[in-house]
Amino acid sequence: MGRVEENQVDFYNRRFVAELDNQSFAEIAKATGAEGIVVNQLEDVGPALKRAINLQMNHGKTTIIEIMCTRELGDPFRRDALAKLVCLLDKYKEDYV
């Protein structure tokens, strides 16, 4: 969801199509019958993963781990992901006109 928000900032002049009232994915997981774990410290990631694996393997319970160790938005993987496509092969040029 953070990546979607970042794209809306970077490419769409902060026009948001939707925002979640409850931005806790762990709480959303719990509301849908899954388990939700919030991790706020890096040293708690390992134990949270072990708990999630135990819940899945021994209890058949899906678990969402919400890792909140940093709050800033990272750089998108590709800044040109939403740019107009450029065709470099002649045989496909008519598909991009």
Indicate the helix (H) or strand (E) that contains 53: helix 45-59
pLDDT the model gives residue 61 = 96
Three-class SS state of 84? coil
- Every domain of the chain and the residues it spans: 22-96
Residues in the chain: 97
Three-class SS state of 36? strand
Indicate the helix (H) or strand (E) that contains 8: helix 2-11
Three-class SS state of 37? strand
Taking the whole predicted model, whether its pTM rises above 0.85 is answered as no
* pLDDT tens digit sequence for 22-80: 678 899 899 999 999 999 999 999 999 999 999 999 999 999 999 988 766 666 566 66
